[in-house]
Amino acid sequence: MPAANDDWVARTASDVIAEASRRHPGVPPTCASGISPSGAVHLGNLRELMTPHLVADEVRRADHACRHILSWDDYDRFRRVPKGYPETFAEHVGRPLTSVPDPVGDCHRDWAEHFKAPLREALDRLGVQVTEISQTEMYTSGAYLDQIILAMRRRTDIGAIIRRYQTRQTEVDEEARADYYPFRPYCTTCGRDDTTVVAFDDDTTEITYTCACGARIGPVPIAEVGGKLVWKVDWPMRWAYERVTFEPAGVDHSSPGSSFTVGRHLVEDIFGGEMPLHFMYAFVGTQGQAKMSGSLGGAPTPKDALEIFEAPILRWLYARRRPEQSITLAFDDQVGRAYDEWDALTRKVTAGTAEPASVAIYTRSSSTAGGKLSQTPKPMPFGTLASIFDITAGDEDQELRILRDLTPEAPIESLDEVRPRLDCARAWVLGYLPEEKRTQIRDIPDEALLAGLTEQERHALKLLVDGMADNWSHQGMTTLVYGIPKLIRGLDISAPPTPELKVAQRAWFALLYGLLIGKDTGPRMPTLLLALGQDRVRRLLAV
């Protein structure tokens, strides 16, 4: 694990360069990620990609070639039907993911490709460059045949290593047998892996197996049998085959007795390779949600996140956390806070006042070794854009009018100047803002509320209506609406706030919200007033 006070990306990249040079002089280092497309690839899986990506990209920034491989575990068995999909797919349980039909029709050639496609799109937008490796293609092409035969011949040694770290009785029952085999065939009769190897000839490499479907196959050359090494053997085999220099893993793979612990011995003692540089990364969750599971369904995906976060900001939400720190991505009203923090960081970097560590994180978020990522040309506060869309119901002419009023010194001339952030704000309002928090502007004045106003409240409304024309800008309206409680108390509009004034301002804003939208809270008041326009405000506040 990197030291707490260092730049873990730079330190790891330096270690990767040095280690690759020591192990395989002249061969670029390889950083590795592995994803099983058994269901939607979620935001937890994205950390499996972002962590080695940041390191690989840092290596490239140092003018070294670096390969980042994404091993698709698409030859894994189909374990269960994810939530939300027809139970008829249960007939495919036990078959390779690439042998299961597309879950929603024929838009992709198989189950695995259906879930790979949206991640590919997201990675492209995020600037994450990977070399994809299909384990189905590797196993069925015979690429791993020598490694499979080696593992079968060394099965006794492999079994002894695995037993050394067993912690559950089920593992002992399965792997402590004298006839343990580290290879599981897919039955040629039913296509499933409900199989049991009963014999393997070390000399002829012929295998015999039975299946729960009743079939008995063999002896036949193992080269003619579809199947794969069990996970704890498959992973270290690939480390050696791909010459992996660096591969982090989640907590579940990094605990004592886990796949990494066993793999360390198997890669060196069986496959003649070396353990990759490694550290653990913590889980990713969403606001109020525990650890994600793509096979169970329902977890937000990178594509979901990119609908509401600009790509550099989503990168930043991962890059700003150290590997051992958990990440919580909020899809509620904290989204605006994330944008505000990013904008504040951008201003500091631009002004040259940001700390070096913050500059490094910003650089890794906003660009890759290949260049800068696209960002909104004229970024407005996310909350402002969300409010504008909410208030106008997406009327683009009205949106542009309000944005021009908000930027009088350098007016926004086209909505493209605030995209993609505007589109992110729209998606957030439509997909995540609860209906009860949506803004519904009154069609007619609230006569009952107006009739019950005090003289002081009527005076405050008159100051607002009379002052709008001379203060019709975001800054002007902000000063005016916050200043009216001061004016009616005989204070200067620029007087500093006091506890008493803050109470008065809250009451004043509640009155305005009640008259304009029938609630006691709502969008930021200056933005709301600008969105309504002077004529409509005067009509609803008629005094």
Rounded Cα distance, 39 and 298, in Å? 10
pLDDT recorded at residue 465? 96
pLDDT recorded at residue 299? 82
Classify the C-alpha dihedral 481-486-488-493 as positive or negative: negative
Nearest to 12 by CA among 273, 277, 243, 242: 277
pLDDT recorded at residue 474? 84
pLDDT recorded at residue 467? 95
Mind listing the pLDDT tens digit for each residue in 312-321? 999 999 999 9
pLDDT recorded at residue 5? 56
Q: Are strands 367-368 and 371-372 parallel, antiparallel or unpaired?
A: antiparallel
Q: How many CB atoms lie within 10 A of CB 473?
A: 17
pLDDT recorded at residue 126? 98
Nearest to 382 by CA among 416, 346, 412, 426: 426
Q: How many CB atoms lie within 10 A of CB 304?
A: 20
pLDDT recorded at residue 256? 65
Which residue positions in the chain have pLDDT lower than 50? 4, 169-170, 172-176, 288-296
pLDDT recorded at residue 296? 45
pLDDT recorded at residue 169? 46
Asked if 381 and 474 count as a contact pair (C-beta separation under 8 A), the reply is no
pLDDT recorded at residue 531? 87
Asked if 297 and 81 count as a contact pair (C-beta separation under 8 A), the reply is no
Q: 235-256 b/e with 16+ CB inside 10 Å = b? A: bbbbbbbbbbbbbbbbeebbee
Nearest to 32 by CA among 228, 230, 253, 185: 253
Q: What does the DSSP assignment read for 145-193? A: HHHHHHHHHTHHHHHHHHHHT--SHHHHHHHSSTT--SEEEPPTTT---
Q: Is the bond leading into 420 cis (omega within 30 degrees of zero)? A: yes
- pTM recorded for the entire structure: 0.89
By the 10 Å C-beta count (0-12 exposed, 13-18 middle, 19+ buried), 333 is classed as middle
Mind listing the pLDDT tens digit for each residue in 185-215? 999 999 999 999 999 999 999 999 999 999 9
